[in-house]
Structure 1
Amino acid sequence: MALVQYSDSDSEHELDDERVKIDLSTRKKLRGNSTSMTPADSRSSLPPLPTGFHDLYASSTRVSVRDDPSLHGGRKRVIPHVEGNWPTHIYLEWSPRREEMEVLSDVVQRCKTKLADDDSHIHSLLHSDLGVQLPLHISLSRPVVLATEQKHAFAELFENSIQESPIKPFTVIPETLDWVSNSEKTRWFLVMRIRKPPNDELNALLRISNQTLAKFNQPSLYESQTSITRSSKKRGSNKNLSLAGKYSNDDVTSQDLSDRFHISLAWCLDEPSLEIQEKTSGIDVKPLQSLKIIFNSVKAKIGNVVKSFNL
């Protein structure tokens, strides 16, 4: 057993006492500084998270091995999980600053208040169930599925297309509030419609996304039914047209789809009634129109991996 060493010198006791005094003095100073700081000061003193931080944690934890809508507020999985298939989504991501989040939260709350008498059950997309702020996005593709052997080739082709394009970082401004559904009409979203940017970057990025996906026999986003039908007649077949939506690169049109782009703020399971839509259109959108949203990269989520491509 080791013996405990005791000092036989008064000088060592004095040195220890001096160390205690210095330590207590330092703690008091630190405590005084922390109490004088406001919560806003303490937040602003923290360095911002790296740009790619959220990409590392883009997937939520799986709590079931099968699709169980009761675990997700009644939501149903659009693409069933199949081994060897990789759900893929191309989008522009926006992480609002604190003052921007206050504007968005106020709009969502006013919408909930206006619709309080209706059985709408609106769920905010601004924060998770644990109160963590969530990034928002503009979709540039449908939820599609790539096979394992397609993943690398798709990412490489899409990255090359972005690098070869003349598109630079750009700014968009919200314009109006509206309700839109997903393609299956299983969920409805409260969205901000986006004003067309001066250099038409959204349409340009959508064309790159649609053209890339077409090479892998994946459906385009916002492709009009008219152009699909016309292209299918040209090929002499319309088999599984509504479900597959597969067409060649030549079928991807250059039409202006500026009125389709949006950022979702909240969701509900039931289609909003005409009365709900009218009440929503009556909400003041001037605070939203003061927001300037900057995008300097495009993201592609393939499975649980997020790849970011700089403009």
Structure 2
Amino acid sequence: MSLVQYSDSESEAESASPPAKKPRVEPRPGLPPLPAAFHDLYASSTRVSVKDDPNLHGGRKRAIPHVEGNWPSHLYLEWYPAKNELALLADLIAQAQGHDPKEHSIHSLLHSDLGAQLPLHISLSRPVVLRTEQRGSFTDLLQKSIRDSHIAPFSVLPDILKWVSNYEKTRWFLVLHVAKPLNDELNYLLHLSNSALASFGQPPLYAPSRDSRARASVAHDRRTDYSDCFHISIAWSLDAPAVGDVERVAAIDLKPAQDLEVRFDSVKAKIGNHVESISLPAT
């Protein structure tokens, strides 16, 4: 970049003037957190292929094949951990990994490949499929069910760290199991989700799969207690954990994690790339 040439008069005037003081920069307070609705707008990654290519997803296979007119859907409770909570969860993953990552490769669910923080969740449904014409009526039914339930926002506390697999046994997840909340909100919300999905011919979560009649009866029976099933996944692996991996996780000190209070004030319904946030009633 070339220097600007000034005339002699300009130079003398500048030399006679006292040097200008630099403006004082006041420290700026920390920026407020992004509104929850912002995350819903960018809940899905960009599709890089119209085919199921596991090489693009770390070896993972699509649970539901892409079919025109079908909308993969999922109901869940979402949690964005704070910075100190992320550090605690990252430490748990590191302890579960052990000294040799080659023996059992673990992939964190805390951040994306580009370093962006990812939301964690408690599932209220398995991956299901809705048809295009069902999306609106299903959302309306779920919204009414939650609104009429009078389930207020609530909190859960983690109590156990363990490995669990998906239905197909194609992936294993390192999860924080959560203790049963005071008013049994998780079982109640699961019952509402299962009932809404059953109305559209979809299978329930955490229910026997012997036949459709058995699934339907369990889906509408709120007396069934699935408190042993609710968890938050924090990492995953394509390989089943060996006995040593299971023992190492069981030996991890969970006292710091048991102080985490995970609060939920809405149910998320992800249908295709759209996320509907359904607020829990205030009272």
Shared fold (TM-score greater than 0.5)? yes
* 8 Å CA contact 1:115, 1:279 repeated in 2: no
Q: Report the Cα distance in structure 1 between the residues aligned to 2:102 and 2:259, rounded to whole angstroms.
A: 29
Instruction: Give the Å deviation of 1:207.
Output: 0.1
Q: Which residue of 2 aligns with 1:197?
A: 181
CA 1:250/1:98 → structure 2, altered by over 3 Å: closer, same or farther? closer
Q: Which residue of 1 aligns with 2:169?
A: 185
The match for 1:280 among 237, 243, 249 is: 249
- Is 1:160 the counterpart of 2:157? The answer is no
Q: Which residue of 2 aligns with 1:83?
A: 68
Matches within 5 A, 1:87-106: 87-106=72-91
The match for 2:221 among 239, 253, 269 is: 253
For the residue of structure 1 that corresponds to 2:88, the secondary structure is: helix
Which amino acid in 1 is paired with 2:119?
P
Instruction: Give the Å deviation of 1:274.
Output: 2.0
* 8 Å CA contact 1:126, 1:135 repeated in 2: yes
Q: Report the Cα distance in structure 2 between the residues aligned to 1:230 and 1:71, rounded to whole angstroms.
A: 35
Q: Which residue of 2 aligns with 1:298?
A: 267
Q: Which residue of 2 aligns with 1:265?
A: 234
Q: Report the Cα distance in structure 2 between the residues aligned to 1:88 and 1:51, rounded to whole angstroms.
A: 20
Instruction: Give the Å deviation of 1:111.
Output: 1.4
Instruction: Give the Å deviation of 1:224.
Output: 2.8
Q: Report the Cα distance in structure 2 between the residues aligned to 1:149 and 1:127, rounded to whole angstroms.
A: 34
* 8 Å CA contact 2:155, 2:264 repeated in 1: yes
Q: Report the Cα distance in structure 2 between the residues aligned to 1:108 and 1:273, rounded to whole angstroms.
A: 16
Q: Report the Cα distance in structure 2 between the residues aligned to 1:266 and 1:58, rounded to whole angstroms.
A: 18
For the residue of structure 1 that corresponds to 2:162, the secondary structure is: strand
Q: Which has the larger radius of gyration?
A: 1
Instruction: Give the Å deviation of 1:250.
Output: 7.2
Instruction: Give the Å deviation of 1:99.
Output: 1.1
Q: Which residue of 1 aligns with 2:5?
A: none
- Is 1:47 the counterpart of 2:32? The answer is yes
Q: Which residue of 2 aligns with 1:213?
A: 197
Q: Report the Cα distance in structure 1 between the residues aligned to 2:207 and 2:70, rounded to whole angstroms.
A: 24
Structure 1, residues 22-81: CA drift from partner, whole Å, max 9, x if none?
A: 6x622xx33xx56xxxxxxx7x61121111111000000111121111111100001011
Structure 1, residues 122-177: CA drift from partner, whole Å, max 9, x if none?
A: 00000100111111000000000000000000000000000000210001000011
Instruction: Give the Å deviation of 1:116.
Output: 2.2
* 8 Å CA contact 1:223, 1:252 repeated in 2: no
Q: TM-score, normalising length from structure 2?
A: 0.88
Following TM superposition, the consecutive aligned residue runs of length 4 or more in structure 1 with deviations greater than 6 angstroms are none
Which amino acid in 2 is paired with 1:218?
Q
CA 1:218/1:14 → structure 2, altered by over 3 Å: closer, same or farther? farther
CA 1:14/1:161 → structure 2, altered by over 3 Å: closer, same or farther? farther
Q: Which residue of 1 aligns with 2:153?
A: 169
Q: Report the Cα distance in structure 2 between the residues aligned to 1:51 and 1:277, rounded to whole angstroms.
A: 35
Q: Report the Cα distance in structure 1 between the residues aligned to 2:46 and 2:274, rounded to whole angstroms.
A: 14
Q: Which residue of 1 aligns with 2:95?
A: 110
Instruction: Give the Å deviation of 1:229.
Output: 4.9
Identity %: 54
Q: Report the Cα distance in structure 2 between the residues aligned to 1:90 and 1:230, rounded to whole angstroms.
A: 20
The match for 1:25 among 22, 26, 32 is: 22
Q: TM-score, normalising length from structure 1?
A: 0.81
**Matched residue pairs, number?**
269
Instruction: Give the Å deviation of 1:249.
Output: 6.2
CA RMSD of aligned residues (A): 2.4
Which amino acid in 1 is paired with 2:225?
D
For the residue of structure 1 that corresponds to 2:22, the secondary structure is: helix
For the residue of structure 2 that corresponds to 1:258, the secondary structure is: coil
Instruction: Give the Å deviation of 1:302.
Output: 0.4
Q: Report the Cα distance in structure 2 between the residues aligned to 1:67 and 1:224, rounded to whole angstroms.
A: 28
* 8 Å CA contact 1:89, 1:144 repeated in 2: yes
Which amino acid in 2 is paired with 1:252?
H
